[in-house]
Structure 1
Amino acid sequence: MSVRPWRDIARRPSRQIMVGNVAVGGDAPVTVQTMTNTVTADAKATIDQIRRCEEAGADIIRVSCPDEASTAALREIVRAARVPIVADIHFHYKRALEAADAGAACLRINPGNIGSAERVREVVNAAKANGCAIRIGVNAGSLERDLLEKYGEPCPEALVESALDHIRLLEDHDFREYKVAVKASDVVLAVAAYQQLAEAVDCPLHLGITEAGGLRGGTVKSAIGIGSLLWFGIGDTIRVSLSAEPEEEVRVGYEILKSLGIRNRGVRVVSCPSCARQGFDVIRTVQTLEDRLAHIRTPMSLSVLGCVVNGPGEARETDIGITGGGNGKHMVFLSGVTDHHVRDEEMVDHIVRLVEAKAAEIEAATARDPVEVAAE
């Protein structure tokens, strides 16, 4: 494969922090986060949802801790989770203290919102004592009143000033294990704020377009906003905020990362929009294949093209490809080369078996001596 320098994304240098056992920032992979929507006090329901998010590939999961019952359940939740848990705290500093003691890997809290300097000191001390990181979460919808009066409306400068004010409160107590988000539901506002913040600080940045909307609209807004920033090299961890189940947020997050070649998980499907030339029902076939291949975690590519106009060319760039042919007989490509044909009625099952076999082959190869594999 030839070198393609135009594919390289020059990532913004940032210092690295740890969220539990997951590195964020520096040269660590961009992580994918989500947030539960169960009542946190219901530990079983919350753990069940966390498990589904873990299966989808979540690296870090946030849970809301609005009351004492939630932080009481947090210890059991943290113990059961396979990934680090972030406790979402807003105004009550005691919830932060309880969450830190319960094993949260990170506290999502804005230090300026919890009251006196003494309370900030207590939260910082609890974070230090328990090895917690802190995520400062500035949101255009909840900017401080003095900043709204100063700027007249939410704007990039107001979001960045808010973030810097919160950062100062932490650094005044010699605490630097933090990451920052400056979210807005307005894509252009959020992107501009992140760009300004990226130039002002060296900490990891958590990306998101907040209150983005439902599965379709929210995916589009998040892909534009988060994708633009990642392409600029900005961003160390992401959350796609959707009015949808949290595991869907994780899947969309990985699709954004895959589209930029930043991180791969599972099958990347290349498919055509279909037209009158299609040799099979492309739309329904892709839908079925995406559902049946959702369990595959191994990074690989699959092209599903309805005809020979672009099919062979796309198949040359993917691990497995299917291109529509005549009389219900279609070409199957393996590693970019035409290998055999398959008929309509067998096609989906056949492709699923090929993908599963390829995934097993890749996994077996990566489990062997890397030097031996590289020499082949």
Structure 2
Amino acid sequence: MRDVARLAGVATSTVSRALANPGRVNETTRRRILAAAEQLGYVPNAAARSLRVGASNIVMAVMSEPAIANDVSQITSEVLQSAAATLAKAGFNLVIASRSRPAAEAHIPDLAIGGIVRGAIVFGSSELPSYGRRSLAGAGIPIVSLLHDRSAAGIPSVIANDREAMRDAALHLIGLGHRSFFYIAGPADNYHEAERFAGLAEAAAAAGLPDRAVIRHGGLHSFQNGFSCGIDAARAYLARKRRPTAAVSCWDDAAIAFMGTVRAHGVTVPDDLSVIGFDGAPVGVFCEPPLTTIRQPTASLGAKTVEILLQLLDGDAAAVPMKMMLPNQLLLRASTAAPPTAPPRPRA
């Protein structure tokens, strides 16, 4: 606060009044003080005293807007429920900090620097939030990454074995006799998309299939727009003269919309086409036919992430694994079967 006062050319008490009771300071002076605070990256630190004595019991979950509003999959909410329940048992509360737009990210490092939160869980593969000279990475609180591997950057990470799970699912399809695949891609440059597509490609290579055996479609939609992606993918699939016998989706929402669209145009699942998704969305079992999918270990992901964060809060960093990988589960349902004797062709 003294630094802000010096830069703004006012007394420290004036800075205190401007930040705590803006009406007691004239507008010109208040604006000068706010500009100085912004330039220095200053955040009112009233809660820091509570933090120093261990009174703060709040953990922040940093999330992007698409992660919060993710169509029907409900994966994020399941992970959050598990994390919140595990924190509650340890006497902590969970708050959600949304990254809906870049200009709104200022509050995220402010919560950390100002001592409001004790630690942070970062969801997904977006960059750590920062604003001006303030950043979550430099806030001095424990951070654990969930669903994205940041271990190379020194941030403990809890992830699922997406690549291995997708490889095993694809090998299952290959074992059924499939030799051609239509892959519905997630958003480009996304960690999950890269891992899941790599798993499919590795399975195809292990089976001796040529690169052309996997047709990749998509990459332009976010996970939030899974239904739109699935419909677009279905249209592209239906327009092909020679159609693959298996469709593999990066996530369930796209798989559900894809399957519903191709069935409406006369493609029988699984007789003409096998379809498999990824996430284990609860709604998948109620599809027609029920969707074969890869189930993420949502409860374990949330609980393990919190356990690691609590260890860091206890000062036990040496015992914390830098990367913890949990297994996904292949759920075999009626949307997958052996391929037809000949690849399906467009119907009249």
Specify if TM > 0.5: no
Q: Which has the larger radius of gyration?
A: 2
TM-score, length-scaled by structure 2: 0.25
What is the TM-score when the length of structure 1 is the normalising length?
0.23
Q: Higher relative contact order by CA 8 Å / sep ≥ 6: 1 or 2?
A: 2
